[in-house]
Structure 1
């Protein structure tokens, strides 16, 4: 098991964890919470009724959530289906997404008091997920220039081998110069940097370069995490983010 702290200040708290078992998804809509969620709830001293997890689909859909969604995907079924991003302006609710090589993206807009959490696979990193996440935050009063973006642990460019068809897909969204920065060739094999793709996307959305950072940990290299590319099936890591109930923003 491995857990790291992504952010913990007067406004926000967020982390990334493999859990004890790496099982965050229940088999049925009325099943009890998984042991990993229960353990995380105890560790953070926050009830499961305040956790929210969407049913992800590796797409571009983002949902604005409130306390009314509390427990969704964790202790009860929910309507947050085919969503890979959550945004909220409410304190004390925990946004969470599962990932097993894909990129968790943490978004914090301090002056507006808005946060977001995204699950970016290679399609979402090239497509509109980040744009839609920022649009949802803007709907709640945030400005792109105010947003801090943190790229969480994910499969690194040294491990993420892709086919030529992926580069062709990325050519629809990035310039040739950008593609040169995103893709590298080693031993006639093509590798993709999801982190660089998201940094370019973020800057294009108006997020300031100095407010973009990345956690330098690879889920495939580090066997403490679960990795789809390394062969883990049915086990994922969990990213989570919340605005604290008691902080200087109040």
Structure 2
């Protein structure tokens, strides 16, 4: 049902999980642990799936938080359950509150879980190509710093995401990265199709973390597109499926 990061697993008082799609109650294209509130799955089944994920993290569903992700560089600080039914618009959550699990939703994009064990500050970030390019990782580290973390003490884990051998992009995509920084060329290799390239999202995320001062980084190495244990937006498009499930990967400081 879950994958773990060896680096995060070695830290006392910390729980985390990169969830697979196994162990839930959804069926059809959503089978089975779909946590996507924004999907067209039965809301009752999504709620039960999220309850099961929360339970795995040692909290109740109310204390397993996620945000409405918009591929932005925006971060919110959580101190308790969100008030009311609405979730903040953001792409990362940070907290120093024990017993409060925070999550990043993904179905090809990069889920990043972070912790400074000494400062007892955690973060969960959603880094698709746009968020990674526009600064979500740097914003997350800065927000953790404001809660008392030190960059050099942060440990990060890169979760399951679409890997380079599955991530074909067009010329305009490459140009956007090259205009931002010519050194980004290293994250592209030629595709079999003319005018296309294969993008290394995980490598790009690692570089941005390292440049932000985070040097202890783990990577699951899992490709969501080719590994059927995971939801994949791109795979669903290629199969002409009407929708897709979402993972909610989480981290929590034990109370």
TM-score by length of 1: 0.85
TM-score by length of 2: 0.84
1:27 & 1:122 partners in 2: Cα distance?
20
Aligned-pair CA distance for 1:44: 4.0
Q: Match of 1:230, SS? A: helix
1:148 & 1:161 partners in 2: Cα distance?
30
Task: Tell me if structure 1 keeps the 8 A contact 2:36–2:247.
Answer: no
Distance 1:85 1:157, change over 3 A: same
Indicate whether 1:225 and 2:230 are aligned.
yes
Match of 1:167 in 2: 174
Q: How does 1:2-151 map to 2 (within 5 A)?
A: 2-6=1-5, 7-8=8-9, 9-17=11-19, 18-19=21-22, 20=24, 21-26=32-37, 34-67=47-80, 70=81, 72=82, 77-80=85-88, 82-151=89-158
Task: Tell me if structure 1 keeps the 8 A contact 2:104–2:112.
Answer: no
Structure 1 gap ranges (5+) = 246-250
1:79 & 1:34 partners in 2: Cα distance?
15
Q: Match of 2:166, SS? A: coil
1:44 & 1:162 partners in 2: Cα distance?
36
Aligned-pair CA distance for 1:87: 0.2
Match of 1:248 in 2: none
Q: Match of 1:240, SS? A: strand
Structure 2 gap ranges (5+) = 25-31
Task: Tell me if structure 1 keeps the 8 A contact 2:188–2:199.
Answer: yes
After superposing on structure 2, the runs of 4+ consecutive aligned residues of structure 1 that deviate more than 6 Å are none
Q: Decide which structure has greater helix share.
A: 2
Match of 1:213 in 2: 218
State the number of aligned residues.
232
Distance 1:57 1:109, change over 3 A: same
Higher mean C-alpha deviation, range 183-192 or range 15-24: 15-24
After superposition, the CA RMSD in angstroms is 2.1
Distance 1:138 1:45, change over 3 A: closer
Distance 1:166 1:36, change over 3 A: same
Which string of whole-angstrom CA distances, capped at 9 and with x for unpartnered residues, describes residues 61-108 of structure 1?
A: 1001012xx2x49xx51341x211000011111001211000001111
